[in-house]
Amino acid sequence: MFENYNFKKYDFFLVLLCIAITSIGIVFIKSADESYVRHQQEGFVMGLVLMVIISLVSYSFVLKFYWLIYAASIGLLIAVQLFGDSGGGAQRWFEVGGIRFQPSEIVKILLILFYAAFIMKHKDNINTVRIIVACVILIIPPTFLIFNQPDLSTTIMVLAIFAVVMFLGGLSWKVIGGAFLIGVPSFILALRYLMRDDVHIIKDYHKGRILAWLYPDEYASTEAYQTLNAITAIGSGQLSGKGINNNVVASVKNGNFISAAHTDFIFAVIGEEMGFVGCCLVIGLLFLIAIWCLRIGRRAKDVAGQIIAGGMGGLIGVQAFINIGVVTGLLPNTGLTLPFVSYGLTSLVSLFIGIGFVLNVKLQSPAGEYFEGEF
């Protein structure tokens, strides 16, 4: 369980990156809505403690219980449907001591661990029909349970994580190419079908968000309202912004025109208050964290380590891209938070847990893979 690690390989640089981006998030959460700061700070401390503890526990030991990890994922998702609290037309949370816990956030990390072990066990047969079909079948239950909450945004992220771990696990380019050729036209046809008025597989508000993305001017006062205001806020920040927690009257945030300013649309607050410089800083830090995780995965001792580190890098990178794409109008509104930055105790703690496993992958990397003095 605990190994004799060479602590010269402990990646303090990655830890500092995570601390920096989370600290920036807390600053802007305070600017957006000060009442949420305390919980985020508690999540920060809790996440750091769990990250350090997990970083010292061998991931190889943890992955021995991969079927238990999978069962725990399904169990959490079933439990929240049976006993969870509802809010905004969805049932995604448990209420514990006044703090909401969202199981789907930790399930994203658990699925990375499960597939790391499962693919490692079947790495020599990963491109066989039997194993590919098995991987697809295993992702269906958690995906369905999350979609049924309903939570389309997390469903998209789970499928994105699945694609990343399959690629990292050694899926053949021929299989990927075939899936792409079949998947893209199928997705377009499915989307056209789902958008029909007589089809109710997806919720009406999901259809509204897609239409608002395609025709924002026609939905400027309804579904496209918050996105258009977010774009206005970012543009008004210009190069260096209006200042953090400013009292400028001509502020989109101060006028309460940005919905969910402390969560989904916090990037708009950053753009308005810190301008282009602040946006680049946040994007740069998130990009560097994602790339650093992928880099650690590339030098892992085994396939499982590659999938854990690379999967976390993929999760952070893809979710950041989607969130910023939504806020800037490049993508339809999905409701995904900005990793480490947006308010969300469960999300923040889960990310630090994932980073703890990445740090352990680095600690167990083969000797000679990292030069002395290299971060």
Domain ranges within the chain, ordered by starting residue: 7-199+227-363
Instruction: State the pLDDT confidence band at 302, using cuts at 50, 70 and 90.
Output: very high
- The DSSP code for 314 is H
pLDDT for residue 352 is more than 70: yes
Instruction: State the pLDDT confidence band at 367, using cuts at 50, 70 and 90.
Output: low
- The DSSP code for 84 is P
Q: Which helix (H) or strand (E) holds 93?
A: strand 90-96
**Backbone dihedral angles phi then psi of residue 220, each to the nearest 5 degrees:** -60, -30
The whole model's pTM is what? Answer: 0.92
Buried b (16+ CB within 10 A) or exposed e, 224-263: bebbbbbbebbebbeeebbeeeeeeeebbbbeebbebbbb
Residues forming a β-bridge with 93: 85
What are the tens digits of pLDDT across the range 311-345? 999 999 999 999 999 999 999 888 899 999 999 99
pLDDT value at residue 368: 53
Instruction: State the pLDDT confidence band at 21, using cuts at 50, 70 and 90.
Output: very high
pLDDT for residue 369 is more than 70: no
The whole-number average pLDDT for the span 345-353 is 96
pLDDT for residue 202 is more than 50: yes
C-alpha distance from residue 109 to each of 66, 103, 235, 278 (Å): 12, 10, 35, 29
How many C-beta atoms surround the C-beta of residue 370 within 10 A?
Answer: 17
C-alpha distance from residue 152 to each of 55, 92, 180, 191, 357 (Å): 31, 12, 21, 14, 27
Which residues, at least 6 apart from 25, have a Cβ–Cβ distance to it below 8 Å?
A: 40, 266, 338, 340, 341, 342, 343
The whole-number average pLDDT for the span 230-240 is 93
The whole-number average pLDDT for the span 168-186 is 87
Residues forming a β-bridge with 87: 90
Structure tokens given for 96: 């514990």
